Amino acid sequence: MTAASPIIQGWCPGALRPMASGDGLVVRVRPRGGRLTSEQAAKIAQLAAVHGNGLIDLSSRANVQLRGVTESSHATLIDGLRTLGLIDASAEAEGRRNIVVTPFWHDGDGTQNLAAELTAALAAPDAPQLPGKFGFVLDTASAPVLRDVSADIWLETGPNGLLLCAQGAAFGKPVTPETAVAEAIALAHWFMNQGGVTAGRGRMAALLKRVALPPEHTEPRAAALPQPVVGPVSAGSLVAFEFGQMRAETLAALAKSGPLRVTPWRMLLVEGALPHIPGLITDATDPLLRVIACTGAPGCVQALQPTRALARALAPYVPQGAVLHVSGCAKGCAHPTPVQTLTATAQGFDLIHHGTAAAAPDTIGLSAETLLTLFSNRDA
Ligand code: SF4
């Protein structure tokens, strides 16, 4: 395998359909409504420690992933998750339940109702048979904040009410809380009927390069807010973790504070008082927030180099406001959009000044030592 030829699975791991990785099975749990109750979070922490290797990732689709699960412990783990209401009727139903919910919802704004209604619609027998990575966003708090999520259909707050929008479109279709979910499902059917799926794969953005949206998509979308930083917010506190990963003990301790909202920024929104425990990033200037790194070697079987030790070492040299992505291969799982990137190859790392992990490199074959020297002398 070369850096230019990672295996693209075309589907995301689930709980019922885990993905094999270098450290065992990755079991992805999709919180309903983007929120874990205290009981769910505490039990997930316990299950991760007993049936996995105790490491828990936050995904860019606002899910939690248990790592290091074995084939023999998977069934018992699923039984435990089922008692928490986190397991779908089938792997297909689970695969369709790709819904990212704004963590900034508040009681009475209708977001949780939409989440429950959309969840039910996607589990219905007549639900569109959408491809594995197709997803929905409910960005229906006071202002949109989830524009950069990898998804296909949005229900979001517009200048004059709810809007139904397609990925990347500048205009949406006005809908009401009563019609929103039916309209979102209708747009998913439209995607299927227009030939959006080829060989089981397809995304809305690719279809819209060939086909115009229905004519009702005429209302301009509201400007989206920038990605929030760690710290207090109206619904609680946003807290981050090194590389979006925590230990089971950390999740167990957070669960004692109250419900947790899972965000696509690899942060949790803790609804209750933030406990003083190790492993939390609560300072928005922490250099670790400026580096992104996938699992890398040896945790991922596709990785060509370890990633996180290098990212940790380079973090102090990444300027405030900048982002460095260290990717174990050209697939770039941890960050799909262009930033300064180091992509692992069999010879070291390729440096891409601004691009995704698969972009053409500006410099090739750099060792970790060379990169440390390069970064530490940048402003000298
Ligand atoms: S980008 Fe990282 S996590 Fe994704 S396949 Fe490559 S090495 Fe694995």
Q: Which residue's CA is the nearest one to ligand 1's atom 6? A: 329
160 Cα: distance to centroid of ligand 1 (angstroms): 41
**Looking at the domain assignment, is residue 260 inside a domain?**
yes
Q: Which residue's CA is the nearest one to ligand 1's atom 5? A: 302
Contact (CB, 8 A) for 282 and 267: no
Dihedral of alpha carbons 35, 40, 45, 48, sign: negative
Phi, psi of 311 (to 5 degrees): -60, -40
363 Cα: distance to centroid of ligand 1 (angstroms): 20
Question: Could you list the residue range(s) of the whole structural domain that residue 240 is in?
Answer: 19-92+227-270
pLDDT above 70: percentage of residues in the chain? 97
Please check whether residues 87 and 232 belong to one and the same domain: yes
Q: How far apart are CA 98 and CA 110, in angstroms?
A: 19
pLDDT tens figures, 128-144: 999 989 999 999 999 99
**Looking at the domain assignment, is residue 326 inside a domain?**
yes
Q: Can you read off the two tokens belonging to residue 59?
A: 């995904």
**Coil, helix or strand at residue 194:** coil
Strand locations in 192-323 (E): 219-220, 231-233, 236-240, 245-247, 260-262, 267-270, 291-293
**Looking at the domain assignment, is residue 281 inside a domain?**
no
32 Cα: distance to centroid of ligand 1 (angstroms): 27
Angle at 290 between CA 285 and CA 296, to 5 degrees: 140
Q: Looking at residue 332, which CATH number applies to its domain?
A: 3.30.413.10
Q: Which residue's CA is the nearest one to ligand 1's atom 2? A: 328
8 Cα: distance to centroid of ligand 1 (angstroms): 10
327 Cα: distance to centroid of ligand 1 (angstroms): 7
H/E run at residue 68: strand 64-69
pLDDT tens figures, 142-167: 999 999 999 999 999 999 999 999 99
**Looking at the domain assignment, is residue 332 inside a domain?**
yes
The answer, yes or no, to whether residue 334 has pLDDT greater than 60, is yes
The answer, yes or no, to whether residue 363 has pLDDT greater than 70, is yes
Please check whether residues 141 and 213 belong to one and the same domain: yes
Please check whether residues 211 and 305 belong to one and the same domain: no
Q: What is the pTM of this model?
A: 0.93
Question: What is the four-CA torsion angle of 247, 253, 259, 265, rounded to 10 degrees?
Answer: -40
pLDDT tens figures, 112-123: 999 999 999 999
Q: Which of 59, 325, 327 to mutate to test the pocket of ligand 1 (most atoms within 8 A of CB)?
A: 327
Please check whether residues 141 and 165 belong to one and the same domain: yes
Please check whether residues 161 and 198 belong to one and the same domain: yes
Q: Can you read off the two tokens belonging to residue 313?
A: 């070492």
Q: Looking at residue 141, which CATH number applies to its domain?
A: 3.30.413
Report pLDDT for 49: 98
The position carrying tokens 């929104």 is 269
**Looking at the domain assignment, is residue 130 inside a domain?**
yes
Q: What is the DSSP letter of 360?
A: P
pLDDT tens figures, 69-86: 999 999 999 999 999 999
